[in-house]
Amino acid sequence: MPSTHASAARGNKMTDPVSSASAPTPVVTITDLQISLPEGADRPYAVDGISFHLNAGEILCIVGESGSGKSMSANAMMGLLPDLVSPTGGSILFDGIDLLTLSETQLLDLRGKRVAMIFQEPMSALNPLMRIDDQIAEVYEAHGLLTPSERKKRAIELLTEVGIPEPEKAARAYPFQLSGGQRQRVVIAMALALEPDVLIADEPTTALDVTTQAQILHLIADLQKRHGMAVMFITHDFGVVAEIADRVAVMQFGKIVEEGTAKEVLDHPTHDYTRKLIAAIPTLHTGDASAPIETAPALEVIGLTKSYRSGGGFFGGPERIVHAVKDISFKLGTGETLGVVGESGSGKSSVGRCLVRLQNPDAGSVLLDGEDMAHLSGEKLRTARKSIQMIFQDPFASLNPRSKVGRIIAEGPIAHGTPSKQAYARAAELLELVGLDPSAIDRYPHEFSGGQRQRIGIARALALEPKIIIADEAVSALDVSIQAQVLDLLDDLKKKLNLSLVFITHDLRVAAQICDRIAVMQRGELVELGTADEIFNAPKQDYTRSLIEAIPGRQRELEAAS
């Protein structure tokens, strides 16, 4: 392990983590940390008197839903809090020094060298205009270590260590030339460059596909063991916790509600909130998917094809064609939920958008009530769309911030000629149907939480009394407990209104919970289509199998079941 420079720089302040594994020594001790929020926030403190310690050579997972203050505590360690937020009490002891008292220059020396961080979105963590090896060399340069040629050599060694194929080639690449998983590996390589004692990973796998996520988790666990680092791993996903954690701290509203070893917390949660969170995780147990599928199809898709063209403008350059959807056919039964799953870039969203004609398919037909949606236009398309509506992914982008909720829901019916008074009355009913107070009609979207907004989006989709609803990643942006509620609501509505649902998702757990049948997509092609039970318990294709095996926490669930 070529780490002479780093251990020299570090001196002998640290005890060797490996030898102390039997009696864990805390590397970082946080006591009564309090971080205040600016006035007018929903609570006075982002982090309210939390205490915990991070031992050498262990992975501590900080779990919590959005807004629980988990990222704030990590940012406080690095001195990276936003301007309006400041620590008001407590201490973060690292190596006998309180990090909160350090000046910016002292922190500069510490960051990267002793404490390193991995971020959620690898694309924005890398400089798009710099080659990979230059970015890694920059880490050494910032601390004035090594000569330029040594830096390059180390860069390649690091890239090899984090398992990037063809490290010499990758070193000369720009970030956009690498895949999401490879970029995250580069970010990890940069974090490892100076052999830090502590690695903070803030949702490092959230932006990645499930198979890539499994690889990155494996890599982090492996590197942690090899380097004897302490890892503070922040996540919202209990599946990830089950895969990687030694110890777990659960946060809610800025407080730690439960702390313990991974086994204790996952198997015998003591706090109500932890119990609720764990119960909300969709299990991989598929429902009684015996629903007769071959009822009269509500929708029939035949040979749907869509490709995107880019480049090849005035001055030539080869035109780039991406085949997003390649000759896909399926039937959607009345009252059925069909899941479309796949990794990013598999074309699953394009399928959904072609069905409602937000995008025009290149070829194929979409038969709905005997009419071909794919070839309608103008007034006919407008009428046909009444029976096929969509629920969108982002609860914050899918509602017009300047419209009141009532109008958002009533607009559709009004556009189709319903008198406005009647449409608003119906909007109030719909709000009640999706579990919101009808008084919400006179409020603006920003007054609602993510889950509530998604309910408003559902009410809007229902306003035109559609037969089919396309839900494009409808619960992906929600916290797990909210996610469970919205899924229940969708299932409930589906039965009550006899809807057919096309549920597009990357999350196989969600698909297992709600879908009758599942279509697995890869690179624009339909790889496998079968009942949920078949897909999860007897997958026929290798790709399906690799997707299912990559689901975080699956191993533990299987063990618990047997």
Partner 1 sequence: MKDFWQRFRRNRGAVIGLVLLLAVILIALFAPLLFPQSPWKMVQRPFLPPFDMGQYPLGTDALGRNVIAGLAYGAQVSLLIGLVSTVVSLAIGIPLGAFAGYFGGWIDDSLMRFTEFFQTVPSFALAIVLVAIFEPSVMSIIAAIAIVSWPPVARLVRGEVLSLRSREYVEAAVLSGQKTSTIIWRQILPNTLSPIIVLASLMVATAILLESSLSFLGLGDPNMMSWGYMIGAARTVIRQAWWLSFLPGLAIVLTVLSLNLIGEGLNDALNPRLSRKGK
DSSP state letter for 497: H
Using CB under 8 A, which of 50, 214, 356, 474 touches partner 1? 356
Residue 382 binds to partner 1 (criterion: CB under 8 A): yes
Beta carbon nearer to partner 1, 257 or 461: 461
Beta strands in 378-421, from DSSP E residues, in sequence order: 388-391
Nearer to partner 1, 42 or 288 (CB): 42
SS (H, E, C) 311-356: CCECCECCCEEEEEEEEEEEEEECCCEEEEECCCCCCHHHHHHHHC
DSSP state of 476: T
Given 83, 104, 294, 559, the residue binding partner 1 (CB under 8 A): 83
- Do residues 139 and 158 make contact, with C-beta atoms less than 8 angstroms apart? no
- CB-nearer residue toward partner 1: 375 or 545: 375
Q: Are 352 and 390 in contact (CB under 8 A)?
A: yes
The binder of partner 1 chosen from 88, 270, 295, 383 (CB under 8 A) = 383
For the chain, what is the total number of helices (H) and then of strands (E)? 22, 20
Q: How far is the CB of 39 from partner 1 (least distance, A)?
A: 10
For partner 1, the closer of residues 42 and 559 by Cβ is 42
CB of 366 to partner 1, least distance (A): 14
Contacts of 35 (CB under 8 A, 6+ apart): 45, 46, 47, 69, 72, 73, 76, 81, 85, 86, 87, 88, 254
Query: Least separation, in Å, of the C-beta of 514 and partner 1?
Result: 21
The 3-state DSSP class for residue 151 equals helix
Nearer to partner 1, 413 or 552 (CB): 413
Continuous segment of H or E residues that includes residue 201: strand 198-202
Footprint of partner 1 on 438-467 (CB under 8 A): 457, 460, 463-464
CA separation for the pair 531, 253 (Å, rounded): 40
Angle at which helix 148-161 crosses helix 132-142, to 10 degrees, equals: 120
Minimum Å gap between C-beta 313 and partner 1 is 13
Residue among 328 and 356 whose Cβ is closer to partner 1: 356
Structure tokens at 515: 């879908």
Nearest CA-CA partner of 70 in 244, 162, 201: 201
Cβ at position 112, least distance to partner 1 in Å: 25
In the complex, minimum distance from the CB of residue 91 to partner 1, in angstroms, rounded to a whole number? 25
CB of 445 to partner 1, least distance (A): 9
Name the minimum Å distance from CB 358 to partner 1.
5
- If the CB atoms of residues 84 and 560 are measured against partner 1, the closer one turns out to be 84
Nearest to partner 1 of 349, 513 (CB atom): 349
Name which of 403 and 485 has its Cβ closer to partner 1.
Answer: 403
Residue 361 interacts with partner 1 (CB under 8 A)?
no
> If binding is defined by CB under 8 A, does position 309 make contact with partner 1?
no
| Interface characters, 88-127, with partner 1 (x: CB under 8 A) | ----------------------------------------
- Tokens coding 387: 């029976």
**For 244, what's the count of Cα atoms within 13 Å in the CB-facing half-sphere?**
35
State yes or no: residue 317 binds partner 1 (CB under 8 A).
no
SS3 call for 418: coil
Please give the single-letter amino acid code of residue 92.
Answer: I
Closest CA to 357 of 299, 309, 405: 299
Looking at the Cβ atoms of 239 and 412, the one nearer to partner 1 is: 412
| All residues at 6 or more sequence positions from 250 whose CB lies less than 8 Å from its CB, including other chains | 63, 64, 256, 257, 258, 259, 265, 271, 273, 274, 277
Q: Which is nearer to partner 1, 68 or 349 (CB)?
A: 349
371 is a site residue for partner 1 (CB under 8 A): no
d(CA 116, CA 166): 25
In the complex, minimum distance from the CB of residue 40 to partner 1, in angstroms, rounded to a whole number: 8
CA distance 10 to 384: 68
Nearest Cα neighbor of 333 from 501, 104, 548 is 501
- Identity of the residue, 240 or 391, whose beta carbon is nearer to partner 1 in the bound complex: 391
Binding of residue 318 to partner 1 (CB under 8 A): no
* 468 residue type, one letter: I
Query: Which x/- pattern over 42-71 shows residues binding partner 1 (rule: CB under 8 A)?
Result: ------------------------------
Contacting partner 1 within 386-425 (CB under 8 A) = 386, 389-390, 392-394, 397-403, 408, 411-412, 415-416
Report how many residues bind partner 1 under the rule CB under 8 A: 29
Minimum separation from the CB atom of position 471 to partner 1 (A): 13
- Nearest approach, Cβ of 171 to partner 1 (angstroms)? 35
Spell out, one character per residue from 535 to 554, where the chain touches partner 1: x when CB under 8 A holds, - when not: --------------------
d(CA 541, CA 522): 11
Distance, in Å, from the CA atom of 140 to the CA atom of 112, rounded to the nearest integer, reads 9
Question: How many Å apart are CA 54 and CA 35, to the nearest integer?
Answer: 19
Residue 218 C-beta: closest distance to partner 1, Å: 35
Check binding of 385 to partner 1 (CB under 8 A): yes
Nearer to partner 1, 62 or 366 (CB): 366
Burial group, residue 301, by CB count within 10 angstroms (0-12, 13-18, 19+): buried
Q: Please report how close the Cβ of residue 495 comes to partner 1 at its closest, in angstroms.
A: 23
Query: Residues 467, 497, 395, 517: is their CA dihedral positive or negative?
Result: negative
If the CB atoms of residues 122 and 457 are measured against partner 1, the closer one turns out to be 457
Binding site for partner 1 (CB under 8 A): 83-84, 356, 358, 382-383, 385-386, 389-390, 392-394, 397-403, 408, 411-412, 415-416, 457, 460, 463-464
